[in-house]
Amino acid sequence: MADLDTADGLLPAGLPVSFPLVQAGMGGIATPRLAAAVSEAGALGTVALYKLAADGCRATVEDTAALTARPFGVNVIPEVAGETLLRAQVTAAVSAMIDDRPMVLNSYGLPPAWLSSELEGSRFTLMVQVGTPDDASRAADLGARTVVLQGTEAGGHLLGQLPLDQLIIRTVALNAPVHLLAAGGVADGRRMRELCELGAAGWLLGTAFVAARESGAHELYKSALIDAQGERDTVVTDRFEIGWPHRPHRVLRSAVTDSPSALPSQFIAWTSVSGGRHPVPRGSAAAPTTETTGRIDEMARYAGHGCGAVRAVLPAADIVAALRESHDHALAASLPPKESVIHGT
């Protein structure tokens, strides 16, 4: 990876945090409470705007800012929002921040060319999540300072077809002038150190924070994550395309994913969105949240290979602290012994 200027005061990972860990912006799950708690713990929390209208976006960013004085991220999804809504979301997020803290706009997938210029003069730097080396280079050309490389081990919607190690190695070889973060199945310090040795400067985690106490995930979704043993309990499927088509996604196995043929289309749940109550069809991309009632086990319960490490519902601060401690132990174990000053050995 090319050397980068750090005169902007950010850490080498390009993040305004003390520990280069980013909580993923998961629609319906990444609430202001969760983002604020992660940021308060020294990592970068993220709120999800998903399909929120401008007023909702502004309120979400303002609510998060009221809960923490630290920097946090704001996640947008260009391919889901569409041009008009995305412009409104970005404008709302930028205008909602009236203090001088550094902020991160996290684009899930390549953003349109105009987005970087919209951030000029604001407190926001651009982070882009991609799934291919070529898209990492394109993200740099589009103004990204930090690029998240998502391997196929990740939960949620997949942006590429490469396992994380291969994706990092191939992207590093391109020497793009961006900081690289790793995403996909990251669950402990040993794995974090392995990814850094390949060229990552930090990590983005989603599954680990779904079961956080402050998460917006439904309690049955959290329980299913806790019961999962690991990657064998997840599957990549196309069975949850309603609302987000043409993307494979990794979820916890269920009757919906394991059925030889698609189950009949029907409404299976209800959820609240933007103040209204809406039915949820089987096959919807919506994750089950605290606002959802119905057949939670048949909904899209996104989970990556790291689900086996989720063992309890914990405060987000405890999750960050455990990951930091695990990383520090792995780092210490990987360092060569210090030379003895007395014996010179």
pLDDT at position 273: 74
pLDDT at position 334: 82
159 burial via Cβ count (<10 Å: 0-12, 13-18, 19+): buried
Q: Are 38 and 316 in contact (CB under 8 A)?
A: yes
Q: Are 130 and 148 in contact (CB under 8 A)?
A: yes
Low pLDDT (below 70) residues in the chain:
1-12, 274-275, 337-345
Within its chain, how far is the Cα of 45 from the centroid? 9
pLDDT at position 340: 40
Residue linked to tokens 């912006």: 25
Buried b (16+ CB within 10 A) or exposed e, 299-313: bbbbbbbbbbbbeeb
- Per-residue pLDDT tens digits for 1-23: 444 444 344 455 779 998 999 99
Please give the model's pTM, rounded to 2 decimal places: 0.93
Q: Are 283 and 295 in contact (CB under 8 A)?
A: no
pLDDT at position 92: 97
pLDDT at position 4: 42
pLDDT at position 9: 44
- Per-residue pLDDT tens digits for 26-46: 999 999 999 999 999 999 999
Q: How far apart are CA 33 and CA 215, in angstroms?
A: 7
Q: How far apart are CA 130 and CA 138, in angstroms?
A: 10
Within its chain, how far is the Cα of 4 from the centroid? 23
Q: How far apart are CA 26 and CA 248, in angstroms?
A: 16
